[in-house]
A and B are shown apart, each in its own frame.
Chain A
Amino acid sequence: MSNDRPPRVRRGAPIRRPHPGRTLVLLAVLVALLFGAVGAGSIWGAARWSPGLALDLEGGTQVVLTPRAVDGGEVDTEQVQRAANIIRQRVDATGVSEAQVQVQGGENITVSIPGRATREQLDLIARSAQLRMRPVIYAEPVAQSMEPEPTAVPEEGATPTDGTTPTDGATATDATTPTPTPTPTQSADGAAAPAALQQATTAPAEPVAPAEPAPTPPSLTELATPRPTPGPGQPSEAPTPAPTDASDDAWLSSPGLVEVFQALDCTDPAQRAGGLVGDPDLPLVTCDVEGTEKYVLGPAVIEGTQLTDATAAQARNDQGYATGGWAVQLSFDSSGNAEFQELTARISQLSDPKNRFAAVLDGLVVTAPVVSQTIAGNPEITGNFTQASAEALAQQLKFGALPLSFEVQTEEQISATLGEDQLRNGLIAGLVGLLLVVAYSVLQYRALAVVTIGSLALAALLTYGVILLLSWLQGFRLSLAGVAGLIVAVGITADSFIIFFERVRDEIRDGRVLSSAVEAGWHRARRTILVSDAVSLLSAVVLFVLAVGNVRGFAYTLGITTLIDLLVVVLFTHPVVALLARTKFFGGGHKLSGFDPEHLGSTVARHALHHGAHRPTVAERRAAERARAAQDDGTGAAADGGADDEAARTGGAGAASDRSDA
C-alpha cells in the first residue's frame, strides 16, 4: 500500500536500517552512568538510595510567607530572594536540620521544617527584617573563632587600611577566657568603654542583678529583657541621665543591658537566629552573623531605607588602580548622606572600638568597619573581601533599602503518621494502577505486552534513579502530589507505546511485513509522540515556574517522567520491537504476538481471501499487491519501486505467517 504513504515518508525513501543493538547499548550506558553517579555520591557525597521525602510524607511543619514592604511598596523578585536568604539564616540558626527555604511563584517563600518545630521557632521565622546602622560602643571578639573576621574599613579615596583584624588588639587577649562574661581590659585607647561596662557589671544599678554566675545564662534576664531565651536583645528603656550621643558610654548603664550582654553567647548558633527588629532608639546587644564578635551598639543612626544601593566593586587605591581586592560601595539618599557624614565626623575622632559603625540586618551585625576619617561622599567598605564575599555583603546591605515584614499565608503541621499512611496508600495505588495497565496491555497486545512491561519497568528504574540524583544534587523532595504525578505518568508513558504499537498495526494492515512496519510505524508515531510529549512538558514547565506549593511537586515529577518517557520510547521500546520483529514469533506474526497480520486484517490477506476463499499464497499476495499498485493513479506509480519492494517483503511475511499457522 504505497499509495497512502504521506509525501514525507515517501520522500524519505529507503527507511534507514536501524541498529537496535547499538541503541540498547547506549541506553545501558546511560542507566549505568545514572546509577553510577548516585552510587559514587552515596560513597563520597551525601547521596542516598532512597529519595528525600517532602513534609506531607515525612511529617513536619510548612509555612508559606509572603514578604510585604513595610511602607507598602512593591516587592520585586530580587527582594524576595534576599528575604529568603534572611529566612534561611534564621532557619539554619535554629539548628533545624534539612529545613528547606524556597522561593515559589516569584513572590512566596516556603519554609519546610521536618519534624516538630516549636512555636518560638515559627514566630522567629516570620518576624520582619530591617537594616539599621548603629555606632559601636563596645566590641568583644568571641574566643572560639578561628577565622579572621574580614573587618572592613570605609574609605573614600584613601588607601585601604586593610589589616587582618584591626579591631582592638587589647581585647584579643581575652581570647583565653571563653565565657560570656565581659572581661574589660585596659586597652590603650579603649579604656573608657570597658570600664563603664565593668562598672555596670560589678556595681549593678538594677535591683534585680545579683552577682552573676559567669558561664550560665541567668534566668532573671527575662526581668530585664522581654526575651524569654538568651540571645541578642535590648535594654527595657534608656538610661535616666540621657546620653549625649549615640556612642556615649552612658548607654551601657541602660537597665538590663548588662544581663543581656552576659547571657548572650555568640558561639551558640541558636542565639544568632536573628529576627530581632528592636527599637531604633535603644542600644542593642548582639553578635555578628558569624558569631565571631559580640557588640554593644548605640541607638540607630541611619535606617536601611536611607541606603539606596550597595554594590560590590574592585577596590581601587588613591591613584585609581585596582588593588586586586574587592570592596562594597554604598550609596545613601541625601538625608542618609548627611547623617552618615555627621556619624563619620564624630566617630572617626573616637578610639577603637567606638570608631566603628555596625550595619545590623535582622538583629545581627553583617559588617562593622572602622571609620578613620569623615566621609562626605559615597563610602566604600574595604577589607579582606573576595568577590563572592563582597557581593554577599552588598546583597545583605541592599536588603536594607526595603524593610520587609512577612505575612504568614499558611501554616501546616503535618503528622508523620498521616504522611506514612498517605505514602503507603499512594504506593499501593501506584502498584494497582501499574498492574491494571499491564493487564490491559496483555489483553490488547498479547505477547507484545512484554515490551510494554519492560518499558514501564525501565521507565520506573530511570525515574527512580533521576529522583535519587535530584534529591542529592537539587535537594528535591518527593511530595504526595509528586507521587500522584508519578502514578499518573504510568498511564501517559504507556500511551506512547500504544501510539507506537497502533501505528505499527496500521502498517501491517496496509500489508507491510513486520520489520518494515515497525520502522514505518515508528517514523510516524515518533512525530506524534514528540509533539504530544512536548505539550505535556510545556504544561509541566509552565506549572512549575508559576505555581506554588503542591503544584510544583506534581509538575516536577510530571516533567521528569515525560522526558523519561521520550527516552524510553526512543532508546528502548523502538529498538526492542525492532529486534523482536526479527524473531520468528513476532516477525512471523504468531497469533499471540499482537502483530498477527491476518488477525489485524492485513488488506493483502483479506484481498486474497476475498478472491480465492483459501489461505493466500505468497504468489497470490504479490499479485494482489501488484494489482492494487496498478490501480493507483500517478502518485502510486511514482512509488512503484517501493511498492514492489514492500510486496516482496510482504510475501516473505506471508510465508512466515503460513508456516507458523500451520
Chain B
Amino acid sequence: MGMAALGNRLYTGESSFDFVGRRKLWFLIAAAFVALSAVLLVKPGLNFGIEFEGGSQFRVTGSSDQQAAREAVESVLPGTVPEVTQVGTNGVRVQTETVSTAELDRVRQELATALDVPLEDVTSSTVGPSWGQDVTNQALLALVIFFVLVSVVMALYFRTWTMALASMVALVHDLVITAGVYALIGFEVTPASVIGFLTILGYSLYDTVVVFDKVRENTAEAFVKRNRTFAQAANLAVNQTVVRSVNTTVVALLPVAAILFIGDLLLGAGTLRDISLALFVGTIVGAYSSIFVATPLLVVLRSREPRVRALDAAVRERGGAGQAEAAPAGATAAGTSAGGTTGGAA
C-alpha cells in the first residue's frame, strides 16, 4: 500500500517535499498559468451557449440524420444557417438564431416529420437575448456575495485574515485557470457549466481548509515549542496532509469523472457533461492550488508579522532547524527532525 507508507514518511518528516521553500517557482508557475488563461479568455474567448447569447435550439432524440435536420430547419427558416451537430449516440442538435414561438412550433413539427420521430421527441428551447445578461449578473452577484461571506467565515474560523486572503487568491487562481481551459478547448459555456464553476468555489475551499487546519495546528505548536520556523511548520503541515489531499481529490473526482465520461459518451452535450467538466478541471486545479499556492502564499503573508519573525529568529538562533527556512527536499530527514527523535515531527 504505497499511499499509507508514503503517508507515514511524510507524516514523520522522514521524506518531505519542499512545497513552501520553492514558493517562488510555484508562484511563477501559477502566475504563468493565470496569465495564459487570461490571454485565452480574451482570444479565442469563451464559447457561450445560446442561454447566454440568445437563440433557439432543437434536439431530436432517436435519429442522427444531420442532413435531414438541416434541410428541415432551412425549409422553415429560409436564409438562416443552422448549426447542426450530433449529440450522444443517437441524437441531433440544431441551433439557430432566436425564432418566434410560431416558427418554433413549425420547426419542431418539420424536424419530427423529416427525421421520422414523434413530435414529443423533439426538444426545443428558445432564449431571449437579455436572458443571458440576467443569468450572468446573478451568477456574478452570487460569486461576489460568496467571496465576502466565505472570507468572513474563514477569517473568523482561523482568526487571521491572512488565511482568508490566501484561500481567496487560490480560489481566483482556480476559477481563472478553469475558465482558461474552457476557452482553450472551446467547450460551450452553459448555465450548467456555471453551476460547475460555482461548485468549484466550495470544493476548492474545502481542500484549502483541510490543509490550513493542519497548518494552524502545526504553527501553533511551533510557536510554543520554538522548534521550527513558521515556514517549516507550514511545510510539514502540507506534507502531512498531502496524502489526505490526494485521497480526497481522487475520491471527489471519481464520481465526477463517471458523470463526465458517461455523460459525454452516451448523452453528448447536456447538463451532466457541462457540470462535470467544470468540476473535473476545477477540482484538480483546486487541489493543486491549496498545496502550491495557498500555503506558500500564507507563509509569505505571515512572514512579515513580528511574532512570526521572532519565531523564525529564535529557531535560527537555536540552530537546530539548520536550513533557515523550509529545508530543501534532499536534506529533509535531518532538517525536520530538529525536535529530537523522528517522533518530534509528528
Question: Which residues on A are within 8 Å of B, measured CB to CB?
Answer: 1, 3-4, 6-7, 56, 59, 64, 66, 105, 107-108, 116, 119, 122-123, 407-418, 421-422, 425-426, 428-430, 432-434, 436-437, 440-441, 443-444, 480-481, 483-484, 487-488, 490-492, 494-495, 498-499, 502, 505-506, 509-511, 524, 527-528, 531-532, 534-536, 538-540, 542-543, 546-551, 554-555, 558, 599-601, 603, 606-607, 628, 631-633, 635
Residues of chain A lying within 8 A (CB to CB) of residue B340: 628, 631-632
Rounded to whole Å, the gap between the CB of A644 and the closest CB of chain B is 16
Residues of chain B lying within 8 A (CB to CB) of residue A441: 251
Question: Which residues on B are within 8 Å of A, measured CB to CB?
Answer: 1, 3-5, 7-9, 11-12, 51, 59, 61-62, 88, 91, 101-102, 104-105, 108, 120-128, 130-131, 134-135, 138-139, 141-142, 145-146, 149-150, 153-154, 157, 191-192, 194-195, 198-199, 201-203, 205-206, 209-210, 213, 217, 220-221, 224-225, 240-241, 243-244, 247-248, 250-259, 262-263, 266-267, 270-272, 275-276, 279, 339-344, 346
**Contact A433 B259, beta carbon cutoff 8 Å:** yes
**Contact A539 B146, beta carbon cutoff 8 Å:** yes
Residues of chain B lying within 8 A (CB to CB) of residue A510: 343, 346
**Contact A538 B146, beta carbon cutoff 8 Å:** yes
Residues of chain B lying within 8 A (CB to CB) of residue A108: 134
**Contact B279 A488, beta carbon cutoff 8 Å:** yes
In the complex, 28 of the A-B residue pairs with CB atoms within 8 angstroms, ordered by the A residue number, are A408-B128, A409-B128, A410-B126, A411-B126, A418-B61, A425-B266, A425-B272, A429-B263, A430-B255, A437-B251, A441-B251, A444-B3, A484-B259, A495-B248, A499-B210, A502-B244, A511-B343, A531-B157, A534-B153, A538-B146, A538-B202, A539-B146, A543-B198, A547-B198, A599-B1, A603-B343, A628-B340, A631-B341
**Contact A548 B138, beta carbon cutoff 8 Å:** yes
**Contact A539 B198, beta carbon cutoff 8 Å:** yes
**Contact B256 A491, beta carbon cutoff 8 Å:** yes
Residues of chain A lying within 8 A (CB to CB) of residue B1: 443-444, 599
Residues of chain B lying within 8 A (CB to CB) of residue A417: 61-62, 120-121
Rounded to whole Å, the gap between the CB of B66 and the closest CB of chain A is 17
Residues of chain A lying within 8 A (CB to CB) of residue B217: 6, 524
**Contact B248 A436, beta carbon cutoff 8 Å:** no
A436–B252 Cα distance when bound, in Å, is 10
**Contact A105 B138, beta carbon cutoff 8 Å:** yes
Rounded to whole Å, the gap between the CB of B226 and the closest CB of chain A is 9
Across the A-B interface, the 7 shortest Cβ-Cβ residue pairs: A433-B255, A601-B8, A491-B252, A539-B202, A433-B258, A412-B125, A436-B254
Residues of chain A lying within 8 A (CB to CB) of residue B224: 7, 635
**Contact B220 A7, beta carbon cutoff 8 Å:** yes
Contact of A481 among B104, B225, B271 (CB under 8 A): B271
Residues of chain B lying within 8 A (CB to CB) of residue A422: 267, 270-272
Contact of B8 among A415, A426, A444, A509 (CB under 8 A): A509
Question: Chain B interface mostly helix, strand, loop or mixed?
Answer: helix
**Contact B127 A410, beta carbon cutoff 8 Å:** yes
**Contact B343 A601, beta carbon cutoff 8 Å:** no
Residues of chain B lying within 8 A (CB to CB) of residue A436: 254-255, 257-258
Residues of chain B lying within 8 A (CB to CB) of residue A538: 146, 149-150, 153, 202
Residues of chain B lying within 8 A (CB to CB) of residue A107: 134
Determine the residue in chain B with the shortest Cβ distance to A412: B125
**Contact B153 A635, beta carbon cutoff 8 Å:** no
Rounded to whole Å, the gap between the CB of A479 and the closest CB of chain B is 8
Rounded to whole Å, the gap between the CB of A125 and the closest CB of chain B is 12
**Contact A409 B131, beta carbon cutoff 8 Å:** yes
A488–B343 Cα distance when bound, in Å, is 38
**Contact A3 B344, beta carbon cutoff 8 Å:** yes
A495–B91 Cα distance when bound, in Å, is 37
A18–B147 Cα distance when bound, in Å, is 38
Residues of chain B lying within 8 A (CB to CB) of residue A635: 224-225
Residues of chain B lying within 8 A (CB to CB) of residue A408: 101, 128
A428–B12 Cα distance when bound, in Å, is 42
Rounded to whole Å, the gap between the CB of A523 and the closest CB of chain B is 12
Rounded to whole Å, the gap between the CB of B41 and the closest CB of chain A is 22
Determine the residue in chain A with the shortest Cβ distance to B250: A440
Determine the residue in chain A with the shortest Cβ distance to B265: A425
Determine the residue in chain B with the shortest Cβ distance to A632: B340
Determine the residue in chain B with the shortest Cβ distance to A428: B262
**Contact A532 B259, beta carbon cutoff 8 Å:** no
**Contact A429 B259, beta carbon cutoff 8 Å:** yes
**Contact B134 A409, beta carbon cutoff 8 Å:** yes
Known: A409-B134, A487-B255, A607-B342. 9 other contacts (CB 8 A): A417-B61, A422-B271, A481-B195, A484-B192, A484-B272, A502-B244, A528-B213, A542-B145, A601-B12
Rounded to whole Å, the gap between the CB of B14 and the closest CB of chain A is 9
Residues of chain B lying within 8 A (CB to CB) of residue A555: 195
A413–B119 Cα distance when bound, in Å, is 11
**Contact A505 B7, beta carbon cutoff 8 Å:** yes
Contact of A410 among B51, B153, B341 (CB under 8 A): B51
A481–B120 Cα distance when bound, in Å, is 22
A599–B134 Cα distance when bound, in Å, is 56
A495–B210 Cα distance when bound, in Å, is 11
A144–B93 Cα distance when bound, in Å, is 50
Rounded to whole Å, the gap between the CB of B121 and the closest CB of chain A is 5
Residues of chain B lying within 8 A (CB to CB) of residue A407: 128, 130
Rounded to whole Å, the gap between the CB of B280 and the closest CB of chain A is 10
Residues of chain B lying within 8 A (CB to CB) of residue A4: 221, 346
**Contact B125 A411, beta carbon cutoff 8 Å:** yes
A411–B248 Cα distance when bound, in Å, is 40
**Contact A421 B61, beta carbon cutoff 8 Å:** yes
A30–B202 Cα distance when bound, in Å, is 28
**Contact A495 B195, beta carbon cutoff 8 Å:** no
Residues of chain A lying within 8 A (CB to CB) of residue B102: 119
Residues of chain A lying within 8 A (CB to CB) of residue B213: 527-528, 531
Determine the residue in chain B with the shortest Cβ distance to A108: B134
A599–B105 Cα distance when bound, in Å, is 67
Residues of chain A lying within 8 A (CB to CB) of residue B254: 433, 436-437, 440, 491
**Contact B191 A499, beta carbon cutoff 8 Å:** no
Residues of chain B lying within 8 A (CB to CB) of residue A481: 192, 195, 271, 275
A410–B130 Cα distance when bound, in Å, is 10
Rounded to whole Å, the gap between the CB of B133 and the closest CB of chain A is 10
Determine the residue in chain B with the shortest Cβ distance to A416: B120
**Contact B342 A535, beta carbon cutoff 8 Å:** no
Name the residue in B131, B146, B343 with the highest tally of chain A Cβ atoms < 10 Å from its Cβ. Answer: B343
Rounded to whole Å, the gap between the CB of A275 and the closest CB of chain B is 15
Rounded to whole Å, the gap between the CB of B199 and the closest CB of chain A is 7
**Contact B142 A546, beta carbon cutoff 8 Å:** yes
A542–B224 Cα distance when bound, in Å, is 39
A481–B199 Cα distance when bound, in Å, is 12
**Contact B255 A603, beta carbon cutoff 8 Å:** no
Determine the residue in chain B with the shortest Cβ distance to A59: B120
Given contacts A417-B121, A491-B255, A546-B142, contact A64 B271 (CB under 8 A): no
Determine the residue in chain B with the shortest Cβ distance to A479: B271
Rounded to whole Å, the gap between the CB of A189 and the closest CB of chain B is 49
**Contact B255 A490, beta carbon cutoff 8 Å:** yes
**Contact A509 B12, beta carbon cutoff 8 Å:** yes
**Contact A554 B199, beta carbon cutoff 8 Å:** yes
A427–B79 Cα distance when bound, in Å, is 41
A510–B201 Cα distance when bound, in Å, is 34
Rounded to whole Å, the gap between the CB of A468 and the closest CB of chain B is 22
Contact of A411 among B104, B257, B276 (CB under 8 A): B104
Determine the residue in chain B with the shortest Cβ distance to A549: B191
A234–B120 Cα distance when bound, in Å, is 36
Contact of A488 among B108, B150, B199, B205 (CB under 8 A): B199
Residues of chain A lying within 8 A (CB to CB) of residue B3: 444
**Contact B191 A550, beta carbon cutoff 8 Å:** yes
Residues of chain B lying within 8 A (CB to CB) of residue A535: 150, 153-154, 202, 205-206, 209
Residues of chain B lying within 8 A (CB to CB) of residue A607: 341-343
Rounded to whole Å, the gap between the CB of A17 and the closest CB of chain B is 24
Residues of chain B lying within 8 A (CB to CB) of residue A488: 199, 252, 255-256, 259, 275-276, 279
**Contact B9 A601, beta carbon cutoff 8 Å:** yes
Rounded to whole Å, the gap between the CB of B254 and the closest CB of chain A is 4
